[in-house]
């Protein structure tokens, strides 16, 4: 069922006497990855444009204006009616993988509209804010921390939790962390854009406030019908 920022804040204020923790995912929840993704695909086009007969396709990629980049790069090309060229098929994913999961490219991410304001309100209401991400410490720890600081999201005791290594399964790692914060009398909110994470947490912890952020996701699963769905961090009062 749909829920708004206004609804969430009014729920938070109802529990203001007890301890509360709000757990946010980062990628495609706090951050829109469109610019990170567009940067990588354009760099790819530029680096490989002279490979075989890729040039006309590469030029179209370089000129494309990507809005709300989808989870899979193929879909971004399909949306622009750009053919999936054999050069793309052969070389893109290794190229993408090295860059997407790196400190350097995180700086292109953009905040979802309204999210900073929402975090600020939670902090003012004495809610413990936790960023729980499938990014891993060795490859992305430094950049993640730095970017959150730049964006004013680590200034009031907010906590950042990354995977200690890349081989851990996101949803299992997230469940362990959520379990460690799940104490009697404490109200837990979990917000993530990847339905497989939400559903997995829901299976093990059905009593927490589990919210699916409806942005961009892998579509590997759809959110369970009992989950809340948030579509925007903007409230009616925001212009």
**Nearest-CA neighbor of 182 among 53, 25, 20, 16?**
20
197 counts as binding Mg ion under rule CB under 5 A: no
Asked if residues 198 and 172 have their Cβ atoms less than 8 Å apart, the reply is no
Interacting stretch for Mg ion, rule CB under 5 A, among 12-20, 25-33, 67-75, 100-108? 25-33
Tokens encoding 142:
């430094």
205 HSE (CA, 13 A, CB side) = 24
Beta bridge partners of residue 163, listed in sequence order? 136
3-state SS of 1-65? CEECHHHHHHHHHHCCCCCEEEEECCECCCEECHHHHHHHHHHHHHHHCCCCCCHHHHHHHHHCC
34 counts as binding Mg ion under rule CB under 5 A: no
Q: Tell me the closest approach of the beta carbon of residue 171 to Mg ion, in angstroms.
A: 11
199 counts as binding Mg ion under rule CB under 5 A: no
Give the residue closest to Mg ion by C-beta: 27
In the shown chain, the binding pattern of residues 97 to 136 toward Mg ion, with x for contact by CB under 5 A and - for none, equals ----------------------------------------
CB nearer to Mg ion: pick between 76 and 191: 191
Q: Tell me the closest approach of the beta carbon of residue 5 to Mg ion, in angstroms.
A: 18
What is the torsional sign of CA 49, 55, 58, 59?
positive
Q: Tell me the closest approach of the beta carbon of residue 217 to Mg ion, in angstroms.
A: 7
Interacting stretch for Mg ion, rule CB under 5 A, among 57-65, 137-145, 171-179, 185-193? 185-193
Tokens encoding 134:
């499938």
Q: Output the furthest CA–CA distance in the chain (Å, rounded).
A: 65
28 counts as binding Mg ion under rule CB under 5 A: yes
Interacting stretch for Mg ion, rule CB under 5 A, among 19-27, 97-105, 160-168, 231-239? 19-27
∠ CA 222-133-36 to the nearest 5 degrees?
85
193 counts as binding Mg ion under rule CB under 5 A: yes
Interacting stretch for Mg ion, rule CB under 5 A, among 20-28, 52-60, 78-86, 153-161? 20-28
CB nearer to Mg ion: pick between 25 and 109: 25
25 counts as binding Mg ion under rule CB under 5 A: yes
Total of chain residues touching Mg ion, rule CB under 5 A: 4
Contacting residues toward Mg ion, per CB under 5 A:
25, 27-28, 193
């Amino acid at each position: 069922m749909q829920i708004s920022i206004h609804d969430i804040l009014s729920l938070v204020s109802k529990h203001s006497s007890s301890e509360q923790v709000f757990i946010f995912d980062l990628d495609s929840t706090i951050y829109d990855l469109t610019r990170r993704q567009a940067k990588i695909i354009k760099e790819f086009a530029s680096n490989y444009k002279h490979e075989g007969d890729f040039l006309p396709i590469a030029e179209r990629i370089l000129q494309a204006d990507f809005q709300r980049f989808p989870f899979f790069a193929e879909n971004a090309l399909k949306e622009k009616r750009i053919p999936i060229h054999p050069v793309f098929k052969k070389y893109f994913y290794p190229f993408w993988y090295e860059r997407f999961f790196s400190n350097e490219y995180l700086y292109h991410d953009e905040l979802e509209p309204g999210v900073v304001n929402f975090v600020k309100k939670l902090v003012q209401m004495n809610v413990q804010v936790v960023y729980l991400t499938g990014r891993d410490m060795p490859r992305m720890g430094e950049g993640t921390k730095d970017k959150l600081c730049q964006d004013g999201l680590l200034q009031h005791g907010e906590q950042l939790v990354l995977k200690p290594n890349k081989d851990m399964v996101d949803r299992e790692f997230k469940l362990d962390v959520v379990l460690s914060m799940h104490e009697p009398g404490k109200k837990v909110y979990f917000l993530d854009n990847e339905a497989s994470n939400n559903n997995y947490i829901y299976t093990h912890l059905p009593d927490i406030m589990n919210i699916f952020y409806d942005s961009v996701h892998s579509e590997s699963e759809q959110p369970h019908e009992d989950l809340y769905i948030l579509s925007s961090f903007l409230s009616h009062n925001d212009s």
